[in-house]
Structure 1
Amino acid sequence: MAGHSKWANIQHRKGRQDAVRSKLFSKFSKEITVAAKMGDPDPDKNPRLRLAVKEAKSQSMPKDNIDRAIKKAIGGEGDNYEEIRYEGYGPNGVAVIVEAMTDNRNRTASTVRSTFGKNGGNLGETGSVSFMFDRKGEIVFPASVGSADDVMMAAIEAGAEDVESSDDGHVIYCADTDLNEVSAALEDQLGESESTKLIWRPTTTTELGLEDAEKLFKLIEALEDDDDVQRVTSNVEMSDEVMEQLGG
């Protein structure tokens, strides 16, 4: 499996989950407030807000936190954030996309550039790596919802493009513009999803050994520790053996 999805498991095993969860809630709050400001504060009438709330709930963010973030937008509170995407390279040329939300573009650009440099990477120009990814919708269901064949049939009927099934669950991909419709159709058939969000899906991957994988982990971890950074995606590919060593 390529991309960013494996890093959450490593972070969990490394015992950072409490600190990561706290920072994650802060990032969700920011996304929810911005989404509510940009559109209707009612998630049922605002697709972006609905996705933000759903993803926050999937990570067990308390309802009070979610409501507070929406009320900030209604009350005109909170800073005016600008969404920026940075692109760069990690160890051995791994492509890295950094999505940020900031009230100070210069501060964020400087911090992201410095973080790449300090961790063996290089910040590139806009477009330097994004051509190696497709913008997609991703819907995740637990393995318990059904067999790979059952989920594949449901996905086809819902208008999805691709399905990856394993013992860990089912990951369904669709066009980014179809995410709300496809996820709603799938949930009608399979029940509530574990996660529904927009992602950057790699079209080409770069395989890393243990040493470079450790360097990449440190780079991603440092980027994600920045309050301005919402999410980080890479096109890394690692063997199960390297994953086990990295998470040990």
Structure 2
Amino acid sequence: MAGHSQFKNIMHRKGAQDAKRAKQFAKVLREITVATRSGLPEPSSNPRLRAAITAAREVNMPKDNIDRAIKKASGAAGGDDYVEVRYEGYGPAGVAIIVEGLTDNRNRTASDVRAAFSKYGGSMGETNSVSFMFQRLGVITYPVSVASEDDMLEAAIEAGADNVETTDEVHEVTTAMESFFTVRDALESRFGEPHSSKLDWRPENSVPLDEEKARSVLKLIDVLEENDDVQSVYANFDLSDEVAQALAA
């Protein structure tokens, strides 16, 4: 029975991983579609499309899938038509949350997001009701192996970036939203394609959470991220090492 249970557990986990991978692919394909239509279908001439392709490679999407998505989006038929949406609100413990999405039905997505906030202890607010608590930044990361800390810092300053933080694993370059593509292209010409490059919302201040409140906030975020129309969720909470370890147990 133990072997049978272990097998079922492995199959369940594999199924969950496959489902997560499929959802990641779907979200990236939406971004490729919108990015392709926002400019030319050539990545070299379309910075947003280059960023979308980088995101696709991050989740190990096959090149054929990427090429088909670009071709479909740039064709006469065009496929599905998505619009960008953003929702803001508060979760449990007063945590500020920003939800970004791509949808073919604004009413459906707004209703789903509002329902999630209400069901899991939050409330959806008006546009800009919490975004003033965040900075909109470009974030570009490289493995530490591509350059020394000094070389990356020098290159980032020359490119017009605001800051570089280096850890044991990555160099993280941050830049103003307006300079994002210029900085990324300058770094790419020197160090090659980045590990990731994206626009991000970074909180100005964070709300510390205990274990109980953290579980409530993370449940809401999980539900929001499960929505097919939601691309990214940002929140201004902070977890101590003890709470993080308790949640991981």
TM-score, normalised to structure 2, is 0.88
Q: Residue 52 of structure 2 corresponds to which residue in structure 1? A: 52
The reply to whether residue 179 of structure 1 matches residue 194 of structure 2 is: no
C-alpha separation between the residues in 2 aligned to 1:176 and 1:209? 33
Superposed counterparts of 1:1-248, under 5 Å: 17-75=17-75, 76-248=77-249
Return the offset for 1:191.
3.6
SS of corresponding position for 2:193? coil
The letter of the residue matching 1:130 is S
More divergent stretch after superposition (237-246 vs 140-149): 140-149
The letter of the residue matching 2:37 is K
Residues 21-72 of structure 1, C-alpha deviations (whole Å, 9 max, x = no match): 2101101101111111221111111111111111111221111111111111
SS of corresponding position for 1:139? strand
C-alpha separation between the residues in 1 aligned to 2:147 and 2:245? 28
Residues 96-118 of structure 1, C-alpha deviations (whole Å, 9 max, x = no match): 10001111111111100001111
Q: Give the length in aligned residue pairs.
A: 235
C-alpha separation between the residues in 2 aligned to 1:28 and 1:191? 22
SS of corresponding position for 1:24? helix
* Contact in 1 for aligned 2:116/2:223 (Cα 8 Å): yes
Q: Mind listing any 5+ residue stretches in structure 1 that lack a counterpart?
A: 1-13
Return the offset for 1:164.
2.1
C-alpha separation between the residues in 2 aligned to 1:239 and 1:17? 28
SS of corresponding position for 2:127? coil
SS of corresponding position for 2:186? helix
Larger radius of gyration: 2
C-alpha separation between the residues in 1 aligned to 2:121 and 2:101? 20
The letter of the residue matching 1:26 is A
Q: Residue 6 of structure 1 corresponds to which residue in structure 2? A: none
More divergent stretch after superposition (53-62 vs 143-152): 143-152
C-alpha separation between the residues in 2 aligned to 1:194 and 1:232? 20
Residues 85-139 of structure 1, C-alpha deviations (whole Å, 9 max, x = no match): 0001112111110001111111111100001111111111111100011111100
The letter of the residue matching 2:48 is R
SS of corresponding position for 1:83? strand
What percentage of aligned pairs have identical amino acids? 55
Which ranges of 4 or more aligned residues in structure 1 deviate by more than 6 Å? none
Q: Mind listing any 5+ residue stretches in structure 2 that lack a counterpart?
A: 1-12
C-alpha separation between the residues in 2 aligned to 1:78 and 1:217? 34
For the aligned residue pairs, the C-alpha RMSD in angstroms reads 1.8
